[in-house]
Amino acid sequence: MEQNKSVAIITPSYNGLRYLPDFLSSLSETDYPQKLLKILIIDNNSTDGSVEYIKKNYPQIEIIQNASNLGFTEGNNIGYAWALEQNVDYLVLLNQDIIVEKQWLRYLVESAQGHNVAAVQAKLMLHPETNLLNSYGNAIQFLGFGYCNNYRQLDKPGTEPFEVPYPSGAACLLKMSALAKTGLFYSRLFMYHEDVDLGWKLRLAGYKILLEPKAVVYHKYSFSKAKYKFYYLERNRYFVMLKNYKLATLLVLAPALIAMELGMIFFSLLNGWFKEKISGWGSLIWQLPAILRDRLKTQFKLRQVKDKEILRLFTGSIKFQDVKNPLLVYVANPLLEIYFWLAKKIIFW
């Protein structure tokens, strides 16, 4: 297929000097018409010489320097505003700790031209364990947890694109015409779950999200168990659910939400981040009026699809290797699967 679509690649960067040589070197080898390609680095006030490295070695790359660390969410939103000014057809989100294969972008663009497709995720492999998957399409558990599907499993041989619940913000292509309806990331999130919300919004608006197995990138990924991460993960999944689910769906899911909340309290006490859990509740309560206003926009201006259809690609279990424990695997997940099966029988709206 002839490549005639313009693309803007945006990458938020924060103290990423250890990643930039491999990342930018691979990016410079991308097999795509240079006249159709624009690249922007959004620097979140790095102090490790990142900006100087880019200016010296890749002067053709544009840089926006923020005066403070605005986070992954707002950094990308700044990049999206820049892409709007460039009047491009597609926006690509790409992490600073990625290495791309030569033809990755061609495959993403080809898949994005399918009917009603708004987003296409690359196949994320781990690095340096390049035979293992990082994400073969991310999963959304019905209580708002988002996680990498098939994490640390051996590479899969498939070559045909397939539908996924949401695209990983680490490496995905987005159609600008679709983003004109949904916007990019929900600014209240700061970091984590922003891509869960984006995929949810796109699907609510009636679009498809695909994974393209032929578009291969390698991710220097490690699952952080820092306390601040659990604060954002726990808080943000409630932000996203409150904004995107119908009220009737939230009522059906309420018993499971309460049970899971008790489980997460126990888990936070056991692992030393109960204070962060409490702080997340405080932030949720403080921002609840604003979230409810955002909810009205989602439910009455954006929504084109029933929750019944949205739940079709959700999962009942949490199957992520780095948070696996016997209580989750042998007790919580089977009960959640049963509850989810029943909920889907009830939810017709």
Per-residue confidence at 328, pLDDT binned at 50, 70, 90? Answer: confident
Q: Strands, DSSP E only, in the chain?
A: 7-13, 37-43, 62-65, 90-94, 98-100, 117-126, 133-135, 139-140, 146-147, 162-163, 171-175, 208-219
User: Once rounded to an integer, what is the mean pLDDT over residues 23-42?
Assistant: 96
Query: Which residue is it, tokens 């601040």?
Result: 228
Residue 18 predicted with pLDDT over 90:
yes
Q: Cβ contacts of residue 168 below 8 Å, gap of 6+?
A: 121, 124, 135, 138, 148, 195
Q: What is residue 295's three-state secondary structure?
A: helix
Structural domains in the chain, sorted by start? 7-219 (3.90.550.60), 227-346 (no CATH)
pLDDT tens readout for residues 38-69: 999 999 999 999 999 999 999 999 999 999 99
Q: How far lies 211's CA from each of 109, 138, 294, in Å?
A: 12, 9, 29
What is the reported pLDDT for 323? 67
User: Among positive and negative, which fits the CA dihedral 183, 189, 195, 199?
Assistant: negative
**pLDDT by residue (tens digit) across 115-136?**
899 999 999 999 999 999 999 9
- Separation of alpha carbons 42 and 136, rounded Å: 27
Residue where the block lists tokens 């994490």: 151
Average pLDDT for the chain: 94
Q: How confident is the model at residue 227 (pLDDT cuts 50, 70, 90)?
A: confident
pLDDT of residue 2: 55
With contact defined as beta carbons under 8 Å apart, do 92 and 106 qualify? no
Share of the chain above pLDDT 90, in %: 87
What is the pTM for the complete model shown? 0.94
Q: Terminal CA-to-CA distance of the chain, rounded, Å? A: 40
For residue 321, the model assigns a pLDDT of 58
CA distances from 325 to 151, 267, 318 (A): 16, 11, 11
Q: What residue has token string 């070559």?
A: 159
pLDDT in tens, 254-299: 999 999 999 999 989 998 999 999 999 999 999 999 999 999 999 9
State which H helix or E strand residue 55 sits in.
Answer: helix 50-57
